[in-house]
Chain A
Amino acid sequence: MSIITKPAPKAGTRQAGPGRAGDKVFSGAALGAGVLIVVVLFAVAMFLVIQALPTFSAAPGDITGGKGFASYIFPIVVGTLIAAAIALVIATPIGIAVALFISHYAPRGMARGLGYVVDLLAAIPSVIYGAWGATFLAAQLKVPYQWLADNLGWIPIFGGPASGTGKTILTAGIVLAVMVLPIIASLAREIFLQAPMLHQEAALALGATRWEMIRMAVLPFARGGIISAVMLGLGRALGETMAVALVLSSGPLIASLIRSGNQTIAAEIALDFPEAFGLRLSELIAAGLVLFLITLLVNMVARWIISRHKEFSGAN
């Protein structure tokens, strides 16, 4: 009875309580963090633009290659995109499959062990991957490349003669795929584990097999998350420096993936930066700016893809 007879606290007293102060601190902290990220991003962008300006105003003849910035940057942009595309084409299906195996197929003990291994892969520094790619993987791939050149050489991307060292853009792409795989796999796994049991049971109760259940209730739910995971992987593949610098013996842009040649923006910056000064330095920073814009564009496209299906996302 004492509960009922006690006077109820006045509505006004709540405002002075500690909960209110906590609210203010938290909203202030959240706002601060939000502003900070914008400021940092803006500062980086400004730095890149200001430092890159001399390149854009320089005479075309002074730019590396002697034909202006556009023809300098074009081959390495394409090289960057090719390497990243190879990485994603390989890593996305494998990453999703690994994640599904861990979340829905493997026995519980095995799933945990495998999860640790995947997370461990993500923690290996990129220089290790680069060294592995340059010394081991490239040598192993020489024979397959020769076979590709002999048998599928009529397809431009497998045009011969195959590289004698194996240090090609395809090798770099494969190394990038191995690096990107754990990012995609571990993010996708987290999302698959969050797929609502309610809908998975609904699918099973309709007579779905496990794979059909995954297609009905897990993959559609995880769609946005998978795209985010792939974009994060793409971000790493686009920006990866050390592994590509070590694995790829670079050169001018060529169509064949199994010959020496091509270059990525990040590796170009890393290799040339220590000795660059003056206009060359500005050029490299301008290349960095282009990479920045590509990444921004990719992320915006990803957001757009996710938002297109908002109505059916289950968030409402």
Chain B
Amino acid sequence: MSKRIDVSDLNVYYSDFLAVEDVNITLDAKSVTAFIGPSGCGKSTFLRTLNRMHEVIPGARVEGKVLLDGDNLYADGVDPVTVRSQIGMVFQRPNPFPTMSIRDNVLAGVKLNSRRMPKSDADELVEKSLRGANLWNEVKDRLGKPGSGLSGGQQQRLCIARAIAVSPEVILMDEPCSALDPISTLAIEDLINELKDEYTVVIVTHNMQQAARVSDKTAFFNIAGTGKPGKLIEFAETATIFNNPSQKSTEDYVSGRFG
């Protein structure tokens, strides 16, 4: 239930503006890859091209290839809806559906595929997903209550439960802890470590310690200046990036000299 992603010669545009230039990268299955880099360097933009969420913004488009176990996500005739149901996403701010109960939030993605499932199966899936997101014990007595009543960290784990309920191949996380307190952050980081046993996880983070703690490999993105496109500068084992980077700008960034 996890696939690798190969990106080749990817250019990402907002209308005519080239936001990210010429990315080539391979994200291994059942591993955690972190994207780090200064604000505006295109790491979130690039992440959103991996499940075709980028094109939701009017005028946004992509050139190049993104292969999910060899299948190009941007080939003609590929439905972005299908892509997104295989590649789940967790956002910067927790966004459970406010009009749905905790239970319905977990089942939201499953119900989309209009699979009619018996109540017992649904209950089982809700429990499995919430356990997978380390949230079950906290919410098992109030599954019918609105998801928006949970704390920020719980809401984010609910969003993770919602993402894993549809059994995706890959989970993308866009700064999932930036709106959370340290204890909730720790809970999410523990969870990411467990998720990689089953899923390919890609995480964008501003927090370099977080990247060092959770990821197997790290990609460093940088931007030459305002109005210039972001680029992938260096991609290697996380230990290499933080201890022995080959690029000067990577070393400057991870050692805190800029960004």
B82 touches A204 (CB 8 A): no
| Chain B positions within 8 Å of A316 at CB level | 98, 146, 148-149
- CB of A61 within 8 A of chain B? no
- CB of B85 within 8 A of chain A? yes
User: Per-residue CB proximity of B145-161 to A under 8 Å, as 1/0?
Assistant: 11011000000000100
Q: How many residues of chain B are within 8 Å of chain A by beta carbon?
A: 32
User: Per-residue CB proximity of B10-38 to A under 8 Å, as 1/0?
Assistant: 00000000000000000000000000000
Min CB gap A90→B, angstroms = 27
Question: Bound state CA distance, A314 and B98, in angstroms?
Answer: 5
Which single residue of chain A is at the shortest CB-CB distance from B147? A312
Min CB gap A105→B, angstroms = 12
Per a CB cutoff under 8 Å, which of B56, B82, B84 touches A206? B84
Per a CB cutoff under 8 Å, which of B93, B108, B149 touches A216? B108
- CB of A208 within 8 A of chain B? yes
| Chain A positions within 8 Å of B145 at CB level | 311
A202 touches B97 (CB 8 A): yes
Per a CB cutoff under 8 Å, which of A205, A206, A207, A221 touches B98? A221
- CB of A198 within 8 A of chain B? yes
| Chain A positions within 8 Å of B98 at CB level | 199, 220-221, 312-314, 316
| Chain A positions within 8 Å of B56 at CB level | 201, 204
| Chain A positions within 8 Å of B163 at CB level | 205-206
| Chain B positions within 8 Å of A217 at CB level | 97
> Given A206-B88, A207-B84, A199 and B97 touching (CB < 8 A)?
yes
> Given A206-B88, A207-B81, A208-B81, A220 and B97 touching (CB < 8 A)?
yes
| Chain B positions within 8 Å of A199 at CB level | 95, 97-98
Within 8 A of B (CB), among A69-88: none
Which single residue of chain B is at the shortest CB-CB distance from A207? B85
Per a CB cutoff under 8 Å, which of A204, A223, A312 touches B84? A204
Question: Bound state CA distance, A206 and B159, in angstroms?
Answer: 10
Question: Bound state CA distance, A216 and B84, in angstroms?
Answer: 16
Within 8 A of A (CB), among B79-134: 81-82, 84-86, 88-89, 91, 93, 95-101, 108-109, 112-113
| Chain B positions within 8 Å of A311 at CB level | 145-146
B99 touches A221 (CB 8 A): yes
Which single residue of chain A is at the shortest CB-CB distance from B53? A205
Question: Bound state CA distance, A199 and B108, in angstroms?
Answer: 12
- CB of A303 within 8 A of chain B? no
Question: Bound state CA distance, A235 and B92, in angstroms?
Answer: 43
Which single residue of chain B is at the shortest CB-CB distance from A209? B81
- CB of A119 within 8 A of chain B? no
> Given A204-B56, A221-B98, A198 and B109 touching (CB < 8 A)?
no
B84 touches A108 (CB 8 A): no
- CB of A212 within 8 A of chain B? yes
Question: Bound state CA distance, A203 and B109, in angstroms?
Answer: 8
A206 touches B99 (CB 8 A): no
15 contacts between A and B (CB under 8 A): A198-B91, A201-B56, A202-B91, A202-B162, A204-B84, A206-B162, A207-B84, A208-B112, A220-B97, A220-B98, A220-B100, A221-B99, A313-B99, A314-B98, A316-B98
Known: A198-B93, A204-B56. 16 other contacts (CB 8 A): A108-B58, A201-B91, A202-B96, A202-B162, A203-B97, A205-B53, A205-B163, A206-B84, A207-B166, A208-B84, A216-B97, A216-B112, A221-B99, A309-B99, A312-B146, A313-B98
